[in-house]
């Protein structure tokens, strides 16, 4: 509620508009005009502009809080960068545990109160969805970008000046990466591709089995790759399914040339091993169709009831005959199969599997060349899949699994993961997803940059030189971006336990004398040439890291006011009226 005297209310609106820098419009009905007997003299009344349950922070305080929140999130993740990364153990509200060093997985489990912290978590998710790797780097870099801006805010520099310099530095860094630093790669050079995926996997838990993981990732991506009209489509999410089966050892994990489902045959007497099967995929149920809503049938004589049952049986028989006419060996359906239908199919020597997921059905269709059919009447010879070499049911552990393997030209695959426990399997799956995305990124855009902090150091070196040409105050924030990029090699050195200052000084000296590909060996913490060490990263991942980190820093620096309109509940469950904050009292 706004309290004002009649003469003052118009002046009050103007004063607020000037002080907050924001155009505020008040309805006259919101302004309570005091009767003359309770008017205060000389404007002594407290003016409450915002509602009583609203908390408002403004100005420098908000900007410094945002910077602190960004740095706090980055500090949580910092030890998870590089080959010597630590794992974090997180407990969710349900009591389950997650052990991981994947930036996105950690931040997904953490509950954050501060709005700036929430937007930091959002960027890790964006990075994961866009390129699948670099989630830890992007958080660490964004936190540092905010950290270096703190000194300029303390010196009363306007945020827009800082933002302009940041933008300019980002544009220069991107053009440097694309034109000067990146090198092209031949997508058919398998050893080189494996080397790139290895440098991604090396920082993860799965790093000890890096050869196996790289081979799995590359095989899976090559399998699901489609080339149409000169355009490459690699859909990992839909067609490269990861199946985790606890037990066995990690070395037993493989990529199947086909599909695996967690299903058994519907009838125990059906065949469980068929070579070169003819496969039919259905999207309809092989049972009598029930009415959608409640159905009433009036029967006049008892023979009618028998007739109704007979009609049901005839319908099922007709549907089964239409399927049998195609002479398939295996029938998969997304819906149910009644006992009678099982009987007819068993007599014809057909194996049936019911209630298959739609996504699995689509994968089988891509693997063996079948078409999913919605009505049995429409079955044609070309809808039958003949591309699979083997259908078999195997028992692994306690469960039965159905394998459709040895496909001639599968465009879908299943990655079978084995491991000691569920936690280990979950972590391996997360790591493998990163490897798959890296493999996809290289095949879609085959350009590489050196890893191990070498590219950051090279870009920082050139940006520091360019900053001397920037006019005015903007050159200091521009140079600060170059300093912020050094956080990646610095963190790598810290996580190895080496002397950070000495290592970084030596690395700067290397780059100053033209050693552009020198970086930090994440295993030992010593300087190494990334070309000879074979540590490469896809250009698309690096570009996304820089863009996301700098743009998030820009976004958070632009905020100068936080208004939170949440009602605070006290212990009795009633709503406690929030007191006006200092800022709103100052106005």
Strand (E) or helix (H) holding 60:
helix 60-77
Per the listing, tokens 């931040």 go with 107
Q: Where are the beta strands (DSSP E) in 430-531?
A: 447-450, 518-520, 527-529
Query: Which one of 100, 136, 405, 503 is the catalytic residue?
Result: 136
Q: How far apart are CA 583 and CA 560, in angstroms?
A: 13
Annotated catalytic residue: which of 100, 128, 133, 135?
A: 135
Q: Which two tokens stand for residue 457?
A: 């150091």
Residue from 414, 434, 503, 552 carrying the catalytic annotation:
434
Structural contact between residues 484 and 148, judged by C-beta atoms closer than 8 angstroms: yes
- C-alpha angle 82-86-90 in degrees, rounded to nearest 5: 130
Q: Residue 256: CA atoms inside 13 Å, Cβ hemisphere, count?
A: 28
Helices marked H in 277-380: 302-324, 339-347, 358-368
Tokens of 116: 């700036």
Q: Please confirm, yes or no, whether 570 is among the known catalytic residues.
A: no
Q: Provide the β-strand partners of residue 575.
A: 569
Q: Where is 90: in which H helix or E strand?
A: strand 88-91
The residues pairing with 131 across neighbouring beta strands, listed in sequence order, are none
Whether 102 is a known active-site residue: answer yes
What CA–CA distances, in Å, run from 449 to 516, 539, 553? Answer: 11, 6, 24
User: What spatial distance separates the first Cα and last Cα of the chain, rounded to whole Å?
Assistant: 14
Q: Identify the active-site residue in 100, 102, 133, 548.
A: 102
Contact 560, 159 (CB under 8 A): yes
Q: Residue 339 catalytic? A: no
**Residue 282, beta-bridge partner list:** 333, 373
Distance CA 379, CA 49 (A): 71
Annotation marks residue 136 as catalytic? yes
Active site residues: 102, 135-136, 434
């Amino acid at each position: 509620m706004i309290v004002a005297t009649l003469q003052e209310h118009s002046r009050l609106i103007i004063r607020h508009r000037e002080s907050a820098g924001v155009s505020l419009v008040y309805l006259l009905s919101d302004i309570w005009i005091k009767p003359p007997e309770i008017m205060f003299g000389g404007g002594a009344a407290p003016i409450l502009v915002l509602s009583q349950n609203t908390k408002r922070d403004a100005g420098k305080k908000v900007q410094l809080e945002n910077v602190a929140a960004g740095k706090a999130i980055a500090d949580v993740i910092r030890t998870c960068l590089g080959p010597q990364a630590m794992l974090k153990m997180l407990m969710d509200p349900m009591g389950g545990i997650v052990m991981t060093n994947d930036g996105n997985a950690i931040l997904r489990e953490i509950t954050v109160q501060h709005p700036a912290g929430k937007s930091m978590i959002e960027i890790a998710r964006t990075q994961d969805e866009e390129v699948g790797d670099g989630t830890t780097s992007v958080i660490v870099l964004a936190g540092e970008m905010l950290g270096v801006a703190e000194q300029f805010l303390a010196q009363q520099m306007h945020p827009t000046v800082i933002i302009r310099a940041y933008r300019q530095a980002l544009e220069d860094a991107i053009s440097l990466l694309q034109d000067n630093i990146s090198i092209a790669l031949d997508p058919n050079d398998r050893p080189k591709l494996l080397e790139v995926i290895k440098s991604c996997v090396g920082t993860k838990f799965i790093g000890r089995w890096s050869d196996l993981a790289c081979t799995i990732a590359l095989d899976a991506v090559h399998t699901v790759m489609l080339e149409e009209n000169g355009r490459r489509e690699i859909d990992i999410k839909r067609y490269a399914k990861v199946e985790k089966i606890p037990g066995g050892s990690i070395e037993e994990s493989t990529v199947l040339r086909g599909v695996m489902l967690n299903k058994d045959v519907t009838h125990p007497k059906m065949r469980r091993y068929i070579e070169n099967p003819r496969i039919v995929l259905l999207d309809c149920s092989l049972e009598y169709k029930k009415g959608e809503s409640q159905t009433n049938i009036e029967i006049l004589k008892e023979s009618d009831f028998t007739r109704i049952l007979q009609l049901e049986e005839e319908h099922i028989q007709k549907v089964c005959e239409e399927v049998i006419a195609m002479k398939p060996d295996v029938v998969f359906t997304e819906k149910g199969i009644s006992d009678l239908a099982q009987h007819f199919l068993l007599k014809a020597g057909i194996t049936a599997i019911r209630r298959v997921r739609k996504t699995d059905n689509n994968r089988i269709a891509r693997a063996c060349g079948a078409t999913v059919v919605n009505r049995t009447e429409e079955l044609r010879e070309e809808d039958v899949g003949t591309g699979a070499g083997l259908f078999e049911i195997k028992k692994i552990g306690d469960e039965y699994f159905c394998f459709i393997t040895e496909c001639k030209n599968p465009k879908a695959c299943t990655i079978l993961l084995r491991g000691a426990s569920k936690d280990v399997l979950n972590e391996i799956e997360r790591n493998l997803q990163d490897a798959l995305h890296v493999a996809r990124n290289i095949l879609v855009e085959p350009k590489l940059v050196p890893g191990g902090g070498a590219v950051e150091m090279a870009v920082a070196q050139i940006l520091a030189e360019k900053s001397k040409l920037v006019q005015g105050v903007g050159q200091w924030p521009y140079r600060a971006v170059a300093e912020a990029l050094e956080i990646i090699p610095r963190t790598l050195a810290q996580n190895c336990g080496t002397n950070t200052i000495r290592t970084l000084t030596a690395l700067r000296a290397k780059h100053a004398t033209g050693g552009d590909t020198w970086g930090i060996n994440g295993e030992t913490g010593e300087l190494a040439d990334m070309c000879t060490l074979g540590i490469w990263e896809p250009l698309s991942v690096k570009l996304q890291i820089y863009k996301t980190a700098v743009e998030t820093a820009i976004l958070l620096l632009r905020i100068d006011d936080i208004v939170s309109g949440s009602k605070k509940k006290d212990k009795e469950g009633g709503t406690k009226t929030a007191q006006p904050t200092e800022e709103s009292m100052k106005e």
